[in-house]
Structure 1
Amino acid sequence: MRALVLTGPGLAEVQEVAPPVAAPGEVVVDVERVGVCGTDVELFTGEMSYLRTGRARYPLRPGHEWCGRVAATGDGVDPSWLGRRVTGDTMLGCGRCGRCLTGRHHVCADLAEIGISRGRAGALAEQLAVPFAALHALPDAVDPALGALAEPGGNALRAVHAAGLEPGERLLVLGTGTIGLLTALFARAAGAEVHLMARDEAALRVARELGFDQVWTRAALPPVPWHAVVDASNAAGLPGLALELVEPARRVVCIGLAGVPSTVDTRDMVLKDVTAVGILGGSAGLPGAIAAYADGSVDARPLVAATVGLSGTVDALAGRRPRGAGPGPKIHIDPRR
């Protein structure tokens, strides 16, 4: 089958590789759609920290935002999965440790991440092998574009839950990339008054097209109480700004990652009695994200700027947008093309 293979920093190509076989407890999925994520870009450029620690190494096969249809089942898997449309959890814990047994498999010490770490092949390929325990069925109302947005949607939904808002309270989202916009969409669906901040007016364009009219640059940000602030950016200075802006005794949620260490003055955190929450992965948010897509309360499809074939993945990883792409931040890949 065809699969995208990263062979070194800045080096990637579509190769012919052996198709996966459904091992005991696994299924093989015919992949329908895959999202290109910032993590995939960092694996491509060589900037991903896992490449320095040895948790990931070349050659590797990326892709962790995906959906598809089950084509084969291994021993021990209910055959009723065959033919079903699914997406899946990126985070694969050992299933035996205390973290896994208490619902925290996404921070398992032996965690493997599909398309990211410990040699687990990703979905930028015609087929993908996945443990059946990681699968989530997709209703008919969730099309391939939404199915491949379930994983980032789960991340964003977890950030909204962590913000601890009541309906009508005010949320400020820092950053208008995929996760920032998804966070805004899920927060709006939950009844929050949503504001977004970006580095410049151009970065606010998609937010406006999604119906958010309270969007700001830093210079224009109004002096109002922020009942929660979510940092969904990759700017090292914004976690500190989030702490500065949030109301005392409320919450700052950090879901973005900067390329260098961020500085937060814990004296401000203590004296303001602020709760800071970090979000890693969409595991616990996947069912809620899929349900919101299915019932129409969140429509994330405008975030997808274009869908291209597998041969277009290298351009997407290198930041070259397809001709005719829309303004959304997300590029999708259809490996069947």
Structure 2
Amino acid sequence: MRAFVLTGPGAGGVQDVPYPVAAPGEVVVDVERAGVCGTDAEFFSGDMAYLRSGHTTYPLRPGHEWAGVVSSAGSGVDPAWLGRRVMGDTMIGDGSCRRCRRGLQHVCEARQEVGVRDGRPGALAEQLAVPASSLHALPGSVDAVLGALVEPGGNALRAARATGAGPGDRVLVFGPGTIGLMAAMFARADGAEVHLMGRTEASLRFARSLGFEHAWTEDELPDLPFDAVVDATNAAHLPARAVELVEPGGRVVYIGLSATPSRLDTRQLVLGDVTAVGILSASPGLAATIEAYASGAVDPRPLVGATVGLSDVAAVLAGTHPTGPAPKVHVDPRLV
């Protein structure tokens, strides 16, 4: 089958690789859509921390945001999965450690990560093999495009819910990229007044086109009380800025990662009685995200700016493929 393979920093392309075979407890999925993520871009640039820690090595097959149809199943798998459209959890715990037993398999020390850590090739391919236990069935109202947006949406939903915001609350989201915009969508769906802060007028103009009229640069940000702040950027100075801007008794949620250490004065947290929350992984939010998409409470499809084939992935990762103002690129491995 055809798969996109990264062979080193800045190097990668489509290769012919063996078709996956479902091991016991696994299924093989025909991939319909796969999202290109910032993590994939970091693998392409060579900046991804897992490359330095040894969790990931080249060559690697990325892609952890996906949807497709189950085409075969290994022994021990319920045959009812066959023919169903599904998406899957990126994080696969060992199932036996203390964290897994406590329902925290997404932070299992021995976890596998589909398309991220060695041992689990990703979804930028025609087919993908994953444990049946990682699957989430998609209802008929959630098509392949929405299905491939469940994984990033699960991260965003968790960030929005971690703010605790609802009607009467004001939330500020740093970063109008995919995760930031999705977090804003979930916070808005929960009834909060949402403001977005970004760097470029183009990104802010796109945010406004989605109905977020309160979209500002850092210099333009109005002097308003914010009950919660979500940092969905890679800017090292913004975690501290979030604590400065949040109301006493409020919450700051960190879902972005900077390339260099971020520094903040924890005395501000204590003296402001501020709660700080870090979000890793969509795992605990996948089911609720599917439900939100199925009901129409949140529709992130406008965030997909382009759908390309596997042969275009290298240009997308290098930033040379035109995508328009929307931040997310999807890959359809069936396209030539």
What range describes the TM-score normalised by the shorter chain of this pair?
over 0.9
Counterpart of 1:328? 326
CA contact (8 A) 1:60 1:119 kept: no
Q: What letter corresponds to residue 261 of structure 2 in structure 1? A: P
Within-5 A mapping of 1:144-293: 144-293=144-293
Q: What is the distance in 2 between the residues matched to 1:320 and 1:180?
A: 23
- RMSD, aligned CA: 0.8
Q: What is the distance in 2 between the residues matched to 1:273 and 1:243?
A: 11
TM-score by length of 1: 0.98
Runs of 4+ in 1 over 4 A off after TM superposition: none
Q: In structure 1, the residue corresponding to 2:208 is in which secondary structure? A: helix
Q: What letter corresponds to residue 8 of structure 1 in structure 2? A: G
Q: In structure 2, the residue corresponding to 1:5 is in which secondary structure? A: strand
Q: What is the distance in 2 between the residues matched to 1:132 and 1:225?
A: 46
Within-5 A mapping of 1:31-180: 31-180=31-180
**TM-superposition CA deviations, 1:180-237 (whole Å, max 9, x none):** 0000011111111111001132220211110110111111111111000000011001
Q: In structure 2, the residue corresponding to 1:229 is in which secondary structure? A: strand
**TM-superposition CA deviations, 1:273-306 (whole Å, max 9, x none):** 1111000010011111111111111110110000
Q: What is the distance in 2 between the residues matched to 1:92 and 1:15?
A: 26
TM-score by length of 2: 0.98
Aligned residues: 335
CA contact (8 A) 1:304 1:326 kept: no
Q: What letter corresponds to residue 52 of structure 1 in structure 2? A: R
**TM-superposition CA deviations, 1:241-280 (whole Å, max 9, x none):** 0000001111100000111111111111111111110000
Q: What is the distance in 2 between the residues matched to 1:298 and 1:316?
A: 26
Deviation at 1:321, TM superposition (A): 2.7
Q: In structure 2, the residue corresponding to 1:133 is in which secondary structure? A: helix
Return 5+ residue gaps in structure 1 as ranges: none
Q: What letter corresponds to residue 280 of structure 2 in structure 1? A: L
CA contact (8 A) 2:312 2:321 kept: no
Q: What is the distance in 2 between the residues matched to 1:330 and 1:33?
A: 12
Q: In structure 1, the residue corresponding to 2:331 is in which secondary structure? A: strand
Q: In structure 2, the residue corresponding to 1:95 is in which secondary structure? A: coil
Deviation at 1:164, TM superposition (A): 1.1
Deviation at 1:175, TM superposition (A): 0.4
Deviation at 1:326, TM superposition (A): 3.2
Identity of aligned residues (%): 65
Deviation at 1:46, TM superposition (A): 0.5
